[in-house]
Amino acid sequence: MMSQIHNHSNNTMKKKLFLTLCLFALGLFTTLPMTLKAQAPIRAGDAKFGLTPQLLQKLKASYKETSTDKALQNMVVANGMDFSNSQKGVTLDGEFSHKVESKGITDQKRSGRCWLFTGQNVLRAEAMRVYNLGELTFSQNYNYFWDQLEKSNLFLQAVIDTRSLPMDDRKVEWLFRHPINDGGQFTGISDNFMKYGVVPSEVMPETASSNNTAKLSSLIAEILRQEGIRIREDAEKGKSEALLIERKEKALSAIYKLLVLNLGKPTEKFTYTLKDKEGKAISTKEYTPQSFYQALFKRDMRTSYVMLMNNPTLPYYKVYAIEYDRHMYDGVNWTYINLPMEEIKEMAIASIKDSTMMYYSCDVGKQLDRKTGVLTLHNFDYSSIAGIELNMDKRERIATNTSGSTHAMTLMAVDLDAKGKPTKWMVENSWGADSGYKGHLIMSDEWFDAYTFRIVVDKKYLTARAKALLSQKPELLPPWDPMFMQDK
């Protein structure tokens, strides 16, 4: 009997405990959601400033869909927005008062190596003029091989140098965002050619991967990011700098192999016959890439040329350099004299008059008529299509990342009026002979002012004022400066 009473008492206590737990759980279940429901949804901004139903209705009502709008829509839907502006008022032809002769248009195919083609085209024109040579082209593939290996080392060594900084440091973040690509600028040419020389295109011809660099560049970038992270992990574990460098070199070995598989092994010696314009042999010799460069040019590109920039966001008549804007770890940062366009054009005209081409880069996509190869400020009337005046000046376009240097070409011609003022310019492009105006682009002087950024001139064409600025110590700009845009 006592046992039954005891069991009954235990059962009663268990039921009460179970009921209490159920009520507690029910309280949690009902209270927590009610608390959450009572809270306003988490918003990044005030809802009244979003696209409210009222604002959407207002926007819809603002489009009147007139017969003109319907006709314009039909035209844009069928043809895109790049249809000719009948009011542009500028017609450019291929006649120029001053022009540097060249022979043979190159084609960078589906790659971003315009900077390399441009640098070689400048040298090619010089060699053909000085030695009365026939057609001559250099191997872009040869120099591209070394460019990619040098850029890989630049990234990995920069990771080692910044290993004490946190991963979210702006410089570290920038490095991992931009480990490598196939674009570049003039110091990548001068450093590369002086260290590795040049070879004729027949010695190391193009390959599938050099003509279409996207896959190779993407794979190298992935390897660099992975090995960069591993280097930082090793550094956090306290491994010595010597061990970090050992890891870097192991990664570079893998990249070297990848480059050989895709581009071929760079030649060390070759025999080549130079020929004149009539096709007669001038000489047949054995060369190394370095001796071939010296045989043709006999000068140091790193000290022979000066980079001029027009960047109205910074004070003129100052010298600037951009950190990491180089192709080699032990190379030279992009260093330039910032000048008004009128003074840059004065030196460019002097160079063309003396039959010397120049490395030139601009924002080529702005108002480019690809069919004719003509660049003017009003080829296409986007303002009328959009219904809003697009009128930012050059300084505003740079500051807002609307415009910057995107493509390098070879500046080769200028047309001067009776007063000696330029009216139009012509560049030799690297998009093949069938593109633009017989492989060239022609630009109005107004377009030239608005979208030209970089010109590289031989020192002998500098004005006295520009030459005096070379003694300045460059002001170092960060790698995220708007002008760090590699030409492609």
Instruction: List the structure tokens of 383.
Output: 């303002």
CB 132 within 8 A of CB 277: yes
CB 123 within 8 A of CB 143: no
Query: CB neighbours of 349 closer than 8 A, spacing ≥ 6?
Result: 98, 414, 416, 422
Whole-number Å distance between alpha carbons of 297 and 268: 19
Whole-number Å distance between alpha carbons of 319 and 158: 24
Q: Within a 13 Å sphere around the CA of 477, how many CA atoms are in the beta-carbon half?
A: 21
Instruction: List the structure tokens of 60.
Output: 């819809």
Number of residues assigned to the chain = 488
Residue labelled with tokens 């809003």: 388
Residue 281: strand, helix, or coil: strand
Instruction: List the structure tokens of 394.
Output: 């050059």
Neighbours of 282 (CB within 10 A): 13
Show which residues are catalytic. 114, 407, 429
Question: Terminus-to-terminus CA distance in the chain, angstroms?
Answer: 97
Using a 10 angstrom Cβ sphere, with 0-12 exposed, 13-18 middle and 19 or more buried, the burial of residue 480 is middle
- The helix (run of H) or strand (run of E) holding residue 348 is helix 341-353
Whole-number Å distance between alpha carbons of 320 and 335: 6
CB 252 within 8 A of CB 269: no
Among residues 430, 417, 298, 285, the alpha carbon closest in space to that of 361 is found at 430
